[in-house]
Amino acid sequence: MNEITLIEAVNRALAYELAHDDSMVVMGEDVGVNGGVFRATDGLQARFGRERVFDTPLAETVIAGMSVGMAAQGLRPVAEIQFMGFIYSTIDQILNHASRLRNRTRGRLSCPMVLRAPFGGGIHAPEHHSESTEALFAHIPGLRVVIPSSPSRAYGLLLAAIRDPDPVVFLEPKRIYRLNKQAVEDNGEALPLDSCFVLRPGADLTVVSWGAMIHECQQAAELAAEAGVDIELIDLATIKPLDMETILESVGRTGRCVIVHEAARNCGVGAEIAARLAEEGLMSLMAPVRRVTGYDTVMPLFRLEEHYMPSTARILQAVNETMEYV
């Protein structure tokens, strides 16, 4: 089986579902002939035609709003927002409509749409191209927010997102779009939403993270292992709704938890996890929960971005401090 990158896995999942579900359409800026600025939709228009894979005018509000209209009428729109920095004008449509259409109509209409957007820092991109603002979406009731961290999870989670009966914001960590390859069978098998993935079992400390930061967390876990600290690494994967069961079970065994995210600290998703641990897992904690996050600043332009983003060293330091706490 050939090995593919995360972006190729996204492409493969889109192609699989387009081939198997006539109601699915792919839309967005430059997704047609150009195949998307990151090539997520490469070749899809040639294969599935301009009716089902099409460029929209440059207008994010209508991309999201049109998706709501399509989804309400039984299509499965999968729309690309070119960069997360340009998703904000869609929030009106997501918050006021997509995420509550089912509720407003007592189940009469629903909104099975997916908004995909690349996000996150670390690729020396221009201004507004590097932020991680998943927490904004995690605050919206009725919405799912999903972030893959490997090619196989990109494939399986995107399929799940497309098939899900409710709206999903699917955020793709672009720093790891091409970081490494993995064998991904094109079998159309979805992975479960609303559940974490335990990437590495461990007994001493639980690290919870998602997206590109999983990469640094894995490195930190390996280095910690050399120093005799056995880390359990959990990929959150679905940012909302949270699978606290898996996290509580893990922390129940390890008694220590470090949460790592690239996004700013204040009201980040890490805050929600920490709050839930305080509410439901306090008795099993042997040390305060720590967060390693971006700072509460504007994401700096790229000359300073490496200082903003959590590094393996910063993660290890938090791990060590948490381990040393008595």
Partner 1 sequence: MAQIAHFDIHYDRFLNEAGEVEQPLPEFAKDTQTLLSLYKNMVYTRVYDQRAIALQRTGQMGTYASILGQEAIGAGVGHAMQRQDILAPSYREGGVQFFRGVKPSELFLYWGGDERGMNFNESRQDFPVAIPIASQACHAVGAAYAMRLRKQPAVVVCMLGDGGTSKGDFYESMNVAGSMQLPVIFVVSNNQWAISVRRTDQSSCDTLAQKAIAGGMPGQQIDGNDVIAVRHYVSSALERARTGDGPSLIEAMTYRLGDHTTADDAKRYRSQEEVDLQHKKEPVGRLRNYLIANNLWNDDKEQALIAKCEEQIETEVEIYLATEVQPAKSMFDHLYATLPKSLQWQRAQLPGEE
Ligand X SMILES: Cc1ncc(C[n+]2csc(CCOP(=O)(O)OP(=O)(O)O)c2C)c(N)n1
Q: How far is the CB of 119 from partner 1 (least distance, A)?
A: 15
Beta bridge partners of 291: 259
Taking residues 68 to 87 in sequence order and writing x for each that binds ligand X by CB under 6 A, - otherwise, the string is: --------------x---x-
Handedness of CA 43, 49, 51, 57 (dihedral sign): positive
d(CA 275, CA 11): 37
CA 139 to chain centre: 14
d(CA 25, CA 48): 9
Q: Which stretch binds partner 1 (CB under 8 A): 81-89, 95-103, 157-165, 275-283?
A: 81-89
Which amino acid is present at 268?
A: G
d(CA 192, CA 198): 13
Of the candidate residues 19, 20, 33, 325, the single one contacting partner 1 (CB under 8 A): 33
On the 0-12 / 13-18 / 19+ scale of CB atoms within 10 A, 284 is middle
Phi/psi of residue 310, each to 5°?
-55, 135
Identify which of residues 60 and 216 has a Cβ nearer to ligand X in the complex: 60
76 in contact with partner 1 (CB under 8 A): no
DSSP 302: G
96 in contact with partner 1 (CB under 8 A): no
Of the candidate residues 2, 108, 165, 303, the single one contacting partner 1 (CB under 8 A): 303
Q: Which active-site residues does the annotation give?
A: 129
d(CA 105, CA 108): 5
Beta bridge partners of 55: 28
Q: How far is the CB of 179 from partner 1 (least distance, A)?
A: 18
Q: How far is the CB of 290 from partner 1 (least distance, A)?
A: 13
Site size toward ligand X (CB under 6 A) is 5
Of the candidate residues 23, 55, 243, 311, the single one contacting partner 1 (CB under 8 A): 55
Partner whose binding site includes residue 305, from ligand X, partner 1, none (CB under 5 to 8 Å by kind): partner 1
Q: How far is the CB of 37 from ligand X (least distance, A)?
A: 8
Identify which of residues 29 and 164 has a Cβ nearer to ligand X in the complex: 29
Q: How far is the CB of 39 from ligand X (least distance, A)?
A: 15
Beta bridge partners of 200: 233
* Interaction residues for ligand X, span 15-44 (CB under 6 A): 29
Sites of contact with ligand X (CB under 6 A): 29, 58, 60, 82, 86
